[in-house]
Structure 1
Amino acid sequence: MWNGDALDLDAYLAHVGYEGDRSPTLETLRALHRAHVLGVRWENLDAVLRGDVPLDLATLENKLIRSPRGGYCFEHASLYAAALERLGFTFFAVLGRIRMGAPKMLPTTHAMLIVEIDGRRWLSDIGFGASPLEPVELVDGPGGSETTDGVWAYRLRRGEVTPGADGWTLYQPTGGREGESDDTGDGWMARHTFTLDPQYPVDFRTANHFIATSPHSPFSSRPFVQRVHPDRLHLLDNRTMTTVRPGAAGGPEVRELEPHEVPKVLSDVFGIDLTPDDADLLLTKLV
Structure 2
Amino acid sequence: MTPFLTAYLARTGWQQPVSADIATLRGLHLHHNSAVPFENIDVVLPREIQLDEQSLVDKLVTARRGGYCFEQNGLFERALREVGFHVRSLLGRVVLANPAQMPPRTHRLLLVELEGERWIADVGFGGQTLTAPIRLVAEEEQATPHSLYRLINDGCDWVLQFRHHEHWQSMYHFDLTAQYQADYVLG
TM-score (norm 1): 0.61
Query: Which runs of structure 1 show a deviation greater than 6 angstroms over 4 or more consecutive aligned residues?
Result: none
Determine whether 1:158 maps to 2:156: no
Whichever residue aligns with residue 9 of structure 2, its letter is L
Structural mapping, 1:198-217, within 5 Å? 198-207=178-187
Structural mapping, 1:91-170, within 5 Å? 91-100=87-96, 101-130=98-127, 131-140=129-138, 144-149=139-144, 151-159=146-154, 166-170=156-160
Worse overlay, 166-175 or 90-99: 166-175
In structure 1, distance between residues paired with 2:49 and 2:145: 35
In structure 1, distance between residues paired with 2:145 and 2:85: 27
Which deviations, in whole Å up to 9, do the C-alpha atoms of 1:236-255 show, x marking residues without a partner? xxxxxxxxxxxxxxxxxxxx
In structure 2, distance between residues paired with 1:50 and 1:148: 36
Instruction: Indicate conservation of the 8 Å contact 2:36/2:64, yes or no.
Output: no
Q: How far off its partner does 1:202 sit?
A: 2.5
Q: How far off its partner does 1:89 sit?
A: 0.6
Q: What stretches of structure 2 of length at least 5 have no aligned partner?
A: none
TM-score (norm 2): 0.91
The 3 A distance-change label for structure 1 pair 145 and 85 is: same
Pick aligned residue for 1:23 from 19, 22, 33? 19
Instruction: Indicate conservation of the 8 Å contact 1:138/1:145, yes or no.
Output: no
In structure 1, distance between residues paired with 2:178 and 2:33: 23
Q: How far off its partner does 1:53 sit?
A: 0.6
Partner of 1:71: 67
Q: How far off its partner does 1:173 sit?
A: 2.0
The 3 A distance-change label for structure 1 pair 150 and 201 is: closer
Instruction: Indicate conservation of the 8 Å contact 1:37/1:129, yes or no.
Output: no
Which deviations, in whole Å up to 9, do the C-alpha atoms of 1:222-279 show, x marking residues without a partner? xxxxxxxxxxxxxxxxxxxxxxxxxxxxxxxxxxxxxxxxxxxxxxxxxxxxxxxxxx
Q: How far off its partner does 1:154 sit?
A: 0.8
Which deviations, in whole Å up to 9, do the C-alpha atoms of 1:1-54 show, x marking residues without a partner? xxxx97611111111111223111111101111111121111111122233111
The 3 A distance-change label for structure 1 pair 196 and 156 is: same
In structure 1, distance between residues paired with 2:102 and 2:3: 36
In structure 1, distance between residues paired with 2:154 and 2:53: 35
Identity of aligned residues (%): 37
Cα RMSD between the aligned structures?
A: 1.8
Instruction: Indicate conservation of the 8 Å contact 2:163/2:169, yes or no.
Output: yes
